[in-house]
Amino acid sequence: MDSNVFHNKVEETKTVEAPIKIGDKAGTQDVKVEVPYTEYEHMNHHPYIVDHYKLGDTWTDKLGGFEKEVNLIDNYLRGEIDKGQLKNEVGAVKEKIDKIYKLCNIEKTERVTMQIEKLAAYLEFLKKTDNINYNHFKYK
């Protein structure tokens, strides 16, 4: 019996890695800069509340729109920013809305229409009480 053994030549393969440049990532990264709350409407052509509640383009409709409520909420939040009670950041506005939700027992599982109406009613109440306090101290 002939025992011929055939061997194949095994070649080693070397992988060459390209050097990675550290600190040269500016061209490849997407940088998102958060717009201040007071500039949001100017940049996006609608108030932040429209995007927060995903109202789309129909928020200004005369029938079924939320223009009055959105403007009331937006004016209240801008007033808080102007008074220095709230940071001029979208994140701070989100936190403020969440705090008001807890305070007023507004559930995020409710319909959006109910959430907006309850929030607007509460902020209108706060605005009226602030005006009463202001007038009281004004004439004292």
Q: Is residue 106 part of a domain?
A: yes
Rounded CA-CA distance 133/129 in Å is: 6
The whole domain housing 119 covers 37-138
pLDDT, position 16: 47
Decide: 87 and 81 in contact? Cβ < 8 Å: yes
pLDDT, position 61: 85
Q: How far is CA 98 from the centre of its chain?
A: 12
Q: Is residue 46 part of a domain?
A: yes
Q: Is residue 44 part of a domain?
A: yes
Q: Number of folded domains in the chain? A: 1
Q: Is residue 71 part of a domain?
A: yes
The pTM assigned to this predicted structure is 0.70
Task: Select the highest-mean-pLDDT range: 12-21, 95-104, 122-131.
Answer: 95-104
